[in-house]
Amino acid sequence: MTKKEILFDEAMLQLENIVRQLEQGDVPLESAIELYQKGMELSKVCSDKLQKAEKQLVTFIDENKEDVGADNE
């Protein structure tokens, strides 16, 4: 079974919902553990997506610097 690709915004909304539920404190222990695990997975998804986006931006900026530098010569 393959995992469906989740968008960053969707992952953040789910993570915020989990945090809200856990902060309320009225979640049974077993459910709290499951929510915590799901939250950690979503946190990793968000972190990975941010790192990928950062690499893409750095690459884009570097490529454009080279193009601008070539135009000025």
| pLDDT tens per residue across span 31-73 | 999 999 999 999 999 999 999 999 999 999 988 887 666 555 5
Pair 34, 21: CB distance under 8 Å: no
pLDDT of 7 reads: 95
Q: What is the CA radius of gyration of the chain?
A: 19
**Is 70 exceeded by the pLDDT of residue 1?**
no
Distance CA 27, CA 39 (A): 14
pLDDT of 65 reads: 81
* DSSP code, position 26: -
Cα of first residue to Cα of last residue in the chain, in angstroms, is: 54
pLDDT of 71 reads: 56
**Alpha helices, DSSP H only, in the chain?**
8-24, 29-72
